[in-house]
């Protein structure tokens, strides 16, 4: 029997768990399924409202007493590399970029495991096996690419990978990992710089970076790019690195879940529902 999906997505919230960015705080996410013929449309629309994709789910932090996780993106037209970034681009000028369909390989997984062991040994992905890795890469109902960076002079040619979504207004860096044995190359930063080039060549105005969290050392690097804006209090605004955004960790700043969901604009105009 044929079934049709509801016109409006259903939203749910996860159970609270320890926050990976700020000490002594709890994390909670608002999420909805990403599926069906309108998956690209939904991904485009909700990405503009601070959501991120993980496989076939769109999510946004919705913590009980904090709104510090703010979606960040670079305005391509307003980005100008600083001296350090220009040097970095020159230093990695010999890398070969290749965009592939979202298909996982053993070389990617080996690089992914090495990256996790060096950077995120205690993180939530630390126990991922090759099947879970393949699901992360391949289970995408939207326009996605695996952007690989190869070093022709290195023993291990594959040196960086980024799972990238192509949105109607930009490219979204869903997840990236890289060779950590060459810190001078700063490959994580370089891949962001190269995605700015990709977006510019495609005529797309933004590069979506994920979340920026004031007070989190893990996220501080995102403020180092010119032209960065954050989704804060329902609108995109230029990131001010001199501001402390203290109100973002004030429990009184957090609206109720029903109010958060009601404020979401569904791309085709249909209302949303909270689950």
* 93 and 213 co-located in one domain: yes
* 219 and 93 co-located in one domain: yes
For the segment 156-185, the average pLDDT, to the nearest whole number, is: 92
For the segment 199-227, the average pLDDT, to the nearest whole number, is: 94
* 59 and 91 co-located in one domain: no
Cα 150 from chain centroid (whole Å): 22
Residue 97 maps to a domain: yes
110-119, 210-219, 249-258: least confident range: 249-258
Cβ contacts of 182 within 8 Å, gap of 6 or more: 159
- Tokens found for residue 73: 């993106």
* 65 and 81 co-located in one domain: no
Report the share of the chain in percent with pLDDT over 70. 92
pTM of the entire structure? 0.90
Residue 33 maps to a domain: yes
Strands (E), 151-242: 158-166, 170-178, 206-212, 228-232, 235-238
* 227 and 252 co-located in one domain: no
CATH number of the domain at 100, please. 3.40.630.30
Residue 2 maps to a domain: no
pLDDT value of residue 179: 93
DSSP bridge partners of 170: 206
Q: Pseudo-torsion of CA 166, 168, 170, 171, nearest 10°?
A: -10
Phi, psi angles (nearest 5°) of residue 228: -85, 135
For the segment 6-12, the average pLDDT, to the nearest whole number, is: 76
* 40 and 82 co-located in one domain: no
Binned at pLDDT 50, 70 and 90, residue 5 comes out as very low
Structural domain of 194 = 74-231
Q: What is the three-class DSSP state of 13?
A: strand
Cβ contacts of 37 within 8 Å, gap of 6 or more: none
| Alpha helices for 167-248 (secondary structure H) | 187-202
Handedness of CA 53, 57, 58, 63 (dihedral sign): negative
DSSP tally for the chain: helices H, then strands E? 6, 15
Residue 144 maps to a domain: yes
Size (the chain), residues:
275
Residue 25 maps to a domain: yes
Number of domains comprising the chain: 2
Do residues 71 and 231 touch, judged by C-beta distance below 8 A? yes
């Amino acid at each position: 029997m044929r079934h049709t999906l509801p016109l409006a997505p259903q939203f749910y919230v996860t159970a609270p768990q320890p926050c990976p960015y700020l000490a002594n705080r709890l994390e909670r996410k608002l999420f909805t399924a990403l599926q069906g013929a309108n998956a690209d449309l939904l991904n485009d629309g909700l990405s503009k409202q601070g959501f991120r994709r993980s496989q076939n789910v769109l999510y946004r932090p919705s913590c009980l007493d904090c709104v510090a996780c703010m979606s960040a993106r670079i305005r391509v037209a307003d980005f100008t590399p600083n001296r350090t970034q220009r040097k970095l681009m020159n230093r990695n000028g010999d890398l070969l970029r290749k965009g592939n369909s979202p298909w996982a390989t053993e070389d990617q997984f080996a690089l992914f495991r090495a990256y996790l062991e060096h950077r995120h040994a205690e993180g939530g992905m630390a126990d991922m096996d090759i099947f879970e890795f393949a699901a992360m890469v391949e289970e995408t109902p939207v326009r996605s690419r695996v952007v690989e960076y190869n070093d022709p002079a290195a023993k291990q040619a594959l040196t960086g990978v980024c799972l990238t979504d192509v949105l109607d207004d930009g490219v979204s860096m869903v997840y990236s990992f890289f060779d950590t044995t060459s810190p001078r190359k700063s490959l994580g930063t370089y891949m962001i710089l190269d995605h700015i080039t990709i977006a510019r060549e495609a005529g797309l105005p933004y590069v979506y970076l994920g979340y920026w969290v004031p007070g989190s050392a893990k996220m501080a690097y995102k403020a180092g790019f010119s032209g960065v804006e954050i989704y804060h209090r329902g609108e995109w605004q230029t990131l001010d690195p001199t501001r402390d955004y203290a109100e973002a960790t004030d429990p009184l700043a957090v609206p109720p879940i029903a109010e958060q969901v009601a404020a979401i604009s569904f791309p085709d105009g249909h209302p949303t529902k909270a689950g």
